[in-house]
């Protein structure tokens, strides 16, 4: 009897001890500032992820602040105050690279990424689609976890192409021929936000990527002499830009469209296609008729060009962990969960976006974006990375001049001269380190 | 009852402290930061003297945005005060429903700017906008497709919308001044055979001179730092060719889509803006200085 009492006592003690060890995990609060507004589809998926993660890790509490697209600016302001703790944030990958990452506030994640993924045996680094995780690496260090994947392609209504009897254009000439066929049937071939520099610059980015290959535009932007802009490829790209307008691909009134006026013409069925990110079907889901059949195709090849149609302009959205966080392990555990099959599938199913987990089948509405992402032989960021590397140059030299060309205020020859001269002037005023 | 100076100072102290803390100190700080190269974050500010201002002198976008701002100030100001005077004349002529019309004219001032930009954006949209529908109905198909927000006309399109919004405020301001003018003045003038215009020219305008001066100063300050409407009206990423100075300052310092974050340089833009405001106010004070009528 005494012996059994003793055993019982010891067992109770062991149980008590192990219980207290479990509870000895100090409560952890992670502060996450988000680029989403609270009611957006993507925010709802993250809210579910937070709830599930907290349930599985009772000692962790995640406080989310839903800031919307000005998130990085608000994070910077808060962090500069010194009193605010922010462990995690998310934003467009290009913007993080040119902002907090460049300023040294991002935690390197290489070691964490070698740990196993949640649903797979391989390291987490291996579950990302090719050319995504490394897009913004610096000296081999990875500072971002890209979790949403947007491709820039032409988006169109398959029914219109079938009605007019045209195939997906493979070459620049095919595109011009498609414009003629669409015009003949009374469609405005290409919808565009004519007065939005960011949207207009998709054309410059794609044209130069196809003619000279990805990476050339960013080199031209950084050329302190500006002479690279005198390369015949730039004149060719500028002439092709104007060709779109002069051949009737882009209707003249487009020059006055600001977002979302251009894309609405696609939703209303008056226009046939638009070169834009794969977020378009989501943005237009309430404006298109229920039978709208979304299709996407990559920017056509240019004859004799060095680039390939499998070079993809990938506009990623990423998480970043603050290097000063007191809880890097817990913060990364949450990001590991964001990258799990369950949450990534939810993103694409519920908010119709592309994701970076290679095991996930994207929502059928953006199946063509998924195909492009899977087949990508190389990827490049916004304006061939000029947005993240030389953002002031982009805003003060590249955008204003390309918009002037795009809108027909200057000729292709004048554009080349302006870019060569102003690039040299810019770098004379802002010497590169 | 005589109030001691000490008591008056005591009463002024809280307001003065707030003014010093939240206005004067940041203004002085801004003057200091305009002499630094600073992102507003991370690395410590680096003193560069007047280099930000030197750079501004050759900054094309700064001068483009200054040109746009001055255009809003001068052209917008002339049209706004012209319309406001005409409306004031009409509303103070004994018209029935004066309060109703005054309320209707003032209405745009109490609507959120984002709602107004959305409204005007819709009205200007070619093919599917309100103006397009009207022109289509009139058989003017070319005008229905006209790109009002294109590069050649976006400034005018924006100006029309701003004028529509702002006129109401200045009508109310002028009307408040007109209401204080004794009716005897107008009755005497009528007996002497003065026309409506002569009454307006020789009674209303002189007796409203101080109100007009205040109105012009208010408009000048508002026009020079105008931000919300141009920023929201010109799309997701405003076309740099249509920046106002305040929009350019914001994009340089705080970023819209692109992470420029040159807070020191943006502050120099802000200092230039401050100098422009001071200059305009000084000029206006000199131009509008005149005898104050007692009545």
State how far the Cα of B14 lies from the Cα of B23, in Å rounded to an integer: 14
Pick the range with the lowest mean pLDDT from A61-65, A141-145, A403-407, B90-94: B90-94
Residue-number span of the structural domain to which B280 is assigned = 48-287
Q: Is the dihedral of CA A327, A329, A331, A334 positive or negative?
A: negative
Task: Give B26-55 pLDDT, tens digit per residue.
Answer: 889 999 999 999 988 877 899 999 999 999
CB pairs under 8 A between A and B: 135
Question: What pLDDT is recorded for position A4?
Answer: 59
pLDDT at residue A64 above 70?
yes
* pLDDT range class, residue A247, cuts 50, 70, 90: very high
Cβ proximity of A144 and A314 under 8 Å? no
Quick check: B251 contacting A, CB < 8 Å? yes
Q: Give domain status of residue B9, yes or no.
A: no
> Measuring CA to CA, how many Å separate A390 from each of A97, A205, A219, B14?
11, 15, 11, 46
Residue A16 CB coordination number (10 Å): 10
B151 — contact with chain A (CB < 8 Å)? yes
Q: Do B126 and A197 touch (CB under 8 A)?
A: no
Q: Within an 8 Å CB–CB cutoff, is residue B161 touching chain A?
A: no
Q: Please, what is the Cα angle at A274 between A272 and A277, to 5 degrees?
A: 145
| Strand bridging mode A88-92 / A28-34 | parallel
Nearest to A196 by CA among B150, B5, B247: B150
Nearest to A147 by CA among A184, A189, A109: A109
Question: Could you tell me if residue A338 is inside a domain?
Answer: yes
In this complex, is the C-beta atom of B268 within 8 Å of any C-beta atom belonging to chain A? no
Question: For chain A, what is the domain count?
Answer: 2
Residue B74: how many CB atoms within 10 A of its CB?
A: 12
Q: Among candidates A306, A195, A189, A208, which has minimal Cα distance to A251?
A: A189
* C-alpha neighbours within 13 Å on the C-beta side of residue A218: 15
Average pLDDT of the segment spanning A136-164: 97
**Under a CB-based contact definition with an 8 Å cutoff, are residues A30 and A331 in contact?**
yes
A37 located within any domain: yes
- Across the interface, whether the CB atoms of B258 and A255 are under 8 A apart is answered no
- The answer to whether B247 faces chain A, any CB pair under 8 Å, is no
| 8 Å CB contact of A256 and B149 | yes
Residue A292 and residue A236 share a domain: yes
Highest mean pLDDT of the ranges A76-90, A351-365, B144-158? A351-365
Q: In whole angstroms, what is the distance from residue A223 CA to residue A166 CA?
A: 41
Residue A39 CA, distance from chain mean position: 20
Residue B126: list chain A partners with CB under 8 A.
Answer: 253, 256-257, 261
Interchain CB distance below 8 Å, A198 and B241: no
Q: Is residue A415 part of a domain?
A: yes
> What CA–CA distance (Å, rounded) separates A372 from A374?
6
Mean pLDDT along residues A236-256: 96
Q: Which of B61, B235, B251 sits opposite A193 (nearest CB)?
A: B235
B147 — contact with chain A (CB < 8 Å)? yes
User: Per the CB < 8 Å rule, is B124 touching A256?
Assistant: yes
Stretch B187-197: mean pLDDT:
90
What is chain A's length? 433
**Cα separation of A100 and A33, whole Å?**
13
* Chain A contact set for B38 (CB, 8 A): none
CATH at residue B111: 1.10.3720.10
A95, A198 in Cβ contact below 8 A? no
In A15-140, the DSSP E strands lie at 28-34, 60-66, 88-92
Same domain, residue pair A43 and A115? yes
* In a shared domain, residues A200 and A226: yes
Q: Do B254 and A73 touch (CB under 8 A)?
A: yes
Q: What angle do CA A302, A303, A308 make, to 5 degrees?
A: 55
| Helix ranges (DSSP H) in A60-191 | 71-81, 93-98, 110-113, 158-164, 172-184
**Which residue is closest to A261 within chain B, CA to CA?**
B125
Q: What is the pLDDT of residue B290?
A: 67
Q: Which of B61, B124, B150 sits opposite A255 (nearest CB)?
A: B150
Q: A160 in helix, strand or coil?
A: helix
Note the pLDDT tens digit of each residue in A283-300.
999 999 999 999 999 999
Q: Residue A41 is part of which domain span?
A: 11-149+317-367
Instruction: State the pLDDT at residue A1.
Output: 46
The predicted pLDDT at position A21 comes to: 47
Domain ends where: A367, A392, A407?
A: A367
Residue in A103, A104, A268 nearest the CB of B128 = A268
What pLDDT is stored for residue A303 in this prediction?
95
Whether residues A302 and A161 fall in one domain: yes
Supply the pLDDT for residue A22.
Answer: 46
When CB atoms are compared, the residue of B41, B64, B235 closest to A80 is: B41
Q: Are residues A328 and A388 in the same domain?
A: no
Nearest CA-CA partner of A320 in A139, A154, A109: A109
pLDDT at B293: 67
B94 is a domain residue:
yes
Query: How much of chain A exceeds pLDDT 70, in percent?
Result: 94
Predicted local confidence at residue A77, as pLDDT = 87
Q: Is residue B36 part of a domain?
A: no
Question: Is residue A379 domain-resident?
Answer: no
**Nearest Cβ partner of A403 from B41, B149, B241?**
B241
Average pLDDT across chain B, whole number:
91
Q: Are residues A180 and A167 in the same domain?
A: yes
* A274 and A390 housed in the same domain: yes
Q: What is the CATH number of the domain that holds A60?
A: 3.40.190.10
Residue A1 lies in a domain: no
pLDDT digits (tens, 9 = 90+) for B122-178: 999 988 899 999 999 999 998 999 999 998 898 899 999 999 999 999 999 999 999
In this structure, are A335 and A390 located in the same domain?
no
CA B178 to chain centre: 22
Q: What is the band of B238 on the pLDDT scale with cuts at 50, 70, 90?
A: confident
pLDDT recorded at residue B104: 92
Q: Within this chain, do residues A245 and A324 fall inside the same structural domain, yes or no?
A: no
Does B83 fall in a domain?
yes
Cα distance from A119 to chain B (closest Cα, Å)?
A: 35
Which among B39, B241, B260 has the least Cβ separation from residue A103? B39
| Count of structural domains, chain B | 1
User: Is A404 a member of any domain?
Assistant: yes
CA angle B246, B249, B254 (to 5 degrees): 120
Residues A108 and A125 in one domain: yes
Q: Which of A340-354, B17-31, B114-128 reaches the highest mean pLDDT?
A: A340-354
How many Å lie between the alpha carbon of A109 and the closest alpha carbon of chain B?
20
For residue B147, list chain A residues with Cβ-Cβ distance below 8 A: 194, 252-257
Determine whether B1 is exposed, middle or buried from the number of CB atoms within 10 Å of its CB (0-12, 13-18, 19+). exposed
Range in A68-82, A112-126, A189-203, A247-261 with the lowest mean pLDDT? A68-82
If asked whether residues A325 and A392 sit together in one domain, one would say no
Can you give the pLDDT at residue A171?
A: 97
DSSP lists the bridge partners of residue A294 as A157
pLDDT at position A92: 97
DSSP letter at B235 equals -
Write down the pLDDT at residue B54.
Answer: 96
What DSSP element (H or E) covers B249? helix B245-254
ipTM > 0.95, yes or no: no
Quick check: is B85 in a domain? yes
Cβ contact B151–A407 (<8 Å): yes
Q: How confident is the model at residue A13 (pLDDT cuts 50, 70, 90)?
A: low
Assess whether pLDDT exceeds 50 at residue B245.
Answer: yes
Is B41 a member of any domain?
A: no
Say if residue A229 is in the same domain as residue A125: no
Q: Which string of DSSP letters, residue by residue, matches A324-370?
A: T-S-HHHHHHHHHHHTSHHHHHHHHHHH--EESBTTPPPPGGGHHHH
Report the pLDDT averaged over residues B222-242. 89
pLDDT at B292 over 50: yes
């Amino acid at each position: 009897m005494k012996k059994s009492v003793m055993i019982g006592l010891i067992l109770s003690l062991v149980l008590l001890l192990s219980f207290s060890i479990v509870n000895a995990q100090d409560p952890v609060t992670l502060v996450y500032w988000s680029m989403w507004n609270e009611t957006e589809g993507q925010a709802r998926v993250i809210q579910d992820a937070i709830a599930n993660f907290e349930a599985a890790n009772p000692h962790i509490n995640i406080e989310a602040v839903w800031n919307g697209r000005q998130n990085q600016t608000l994070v910077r302001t808060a962090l500069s105050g010194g009193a605010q703790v922010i462990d995690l944030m998310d934003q467009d990958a290009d913007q993080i690279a040119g902002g907090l990452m460049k300023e040294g506030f991002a935690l390197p994640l290489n070691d964490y990424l070698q740990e196993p993924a949640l649903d797979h045996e391989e390291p987490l680094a291996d579950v990302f689609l090719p050319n995504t995780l490394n897009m913004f690496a610096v000296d081999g260090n990875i500072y971002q976890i890209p979790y949403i994947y947007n491709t820039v392609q032409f988006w169109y209504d398959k029914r219109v192409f079938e009605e007019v009897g045209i195939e997906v254009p493979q070459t620049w000439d095919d595109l011009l021929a498609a414009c003629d066929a669409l015009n003949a049937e009374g469609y405005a071939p290409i919808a565009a936000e004519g007065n939005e520099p960011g949207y207009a610059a998709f054309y410059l980015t794609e044209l130069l990527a196809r003619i000279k290959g990805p990476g050339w535009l960013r080199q031209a932007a950084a050329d302190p002499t500006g002479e690279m802009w005198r390369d015949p490829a730039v004149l060719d790209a500028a002439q092709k830009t104007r060709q779109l307008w002069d051949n009737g691909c882009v209707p003249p009134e487009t020059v006055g469209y600001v977002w979302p006026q251009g894309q609405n013409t696609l939703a209303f069925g008056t226009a046939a296609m638009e070169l834009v990110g794969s977020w378009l079907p989501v943005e237009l889901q309430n404006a298109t008729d229920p039978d709208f059949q979304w299709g996407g195709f990559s920017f056509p090849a240019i004859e004799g060009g060095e680039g390939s149609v499998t070079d993809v302009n990938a506009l990623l959205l990423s998480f970043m962990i603050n290097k000063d966080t007191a809880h890097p392990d817990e913060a990364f555990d949450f990001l590991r969960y964001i990258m799990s099959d369950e949450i990534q599938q939810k993103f694409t199913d519920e908010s119709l976006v592309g994701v970076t987990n290679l095991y996930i089948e994207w929502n059928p509405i953006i199946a063509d974006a998924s195909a492009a992402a899977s087949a990508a032989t190389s990827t490049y960021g916004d304006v061939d990375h000029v947005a993240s590397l030389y953002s002031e140059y982009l805003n003060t030299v590249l955008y204003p001049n390309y918009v002037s060309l795009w809108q027909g205020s200057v000729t292709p020859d004048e554009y080349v001269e302006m870019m060569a001269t102003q690039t040299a002037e810019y770098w004379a005023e802002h010497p590169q380190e | 009852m005589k109030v001691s100076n000490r008591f008056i100072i005591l009463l002024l102290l809280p307001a003065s402290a707030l003014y010093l803390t939240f206005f004067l100190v940041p203004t002085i700080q801004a003057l200091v930061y305009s002499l630094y190269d600073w992102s507003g974050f991370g690395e410590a500010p680096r003193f560069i003297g007047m280099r930000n201002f030197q750079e501004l002198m050759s900054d094309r976008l700064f001068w483009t945005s200054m040109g746009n701002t001055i255009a809003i100030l001068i052209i917008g100001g002339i049209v706004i005060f012209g319309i406001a005077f005409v409306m004031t004349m009409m509303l103070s002529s004994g018209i029935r429903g004066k309060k109703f019309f005054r309320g209707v004219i003032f209405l745009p001032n109490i609507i959120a700017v984002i709602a107004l930009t959305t409204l005007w954006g819709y009205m200007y949209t070619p093919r599917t906008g309100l103006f397009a529908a009207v022109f289509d109905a009139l058989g003017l198909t070319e005008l229905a497709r006209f790109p009002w927000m294109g590069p050649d006309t976006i400034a005018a399109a924006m100006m029309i919308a701003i004028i529509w919004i702002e006129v109401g405020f200045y009508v109310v301001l002028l009307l408040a001044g007109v209401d204080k003018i004794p009716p005897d003045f107008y009755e005497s003038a009528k007996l002497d055979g003065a026309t409506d215009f002569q009454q307006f020219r020789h009674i209303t305008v002189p007796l409203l001179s101080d109100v007009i001066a205040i109105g012009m100063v208010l408009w000048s300050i508002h026009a020079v730092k105008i931000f919300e409407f141009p920023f929201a009206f010109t799309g997701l990423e405003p076309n740099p060719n249509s920046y106002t100075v305040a929009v350019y300052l914001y994009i340089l310092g705080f970023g819209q889509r692109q992470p420029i974050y040159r807070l020191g340089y943006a502050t120099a833009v802000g200092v230039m803006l401050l100098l422009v405001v001071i200059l305009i106010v000084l000029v206006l004070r000199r131009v509008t200085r005149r005898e104050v009528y007692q009545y």
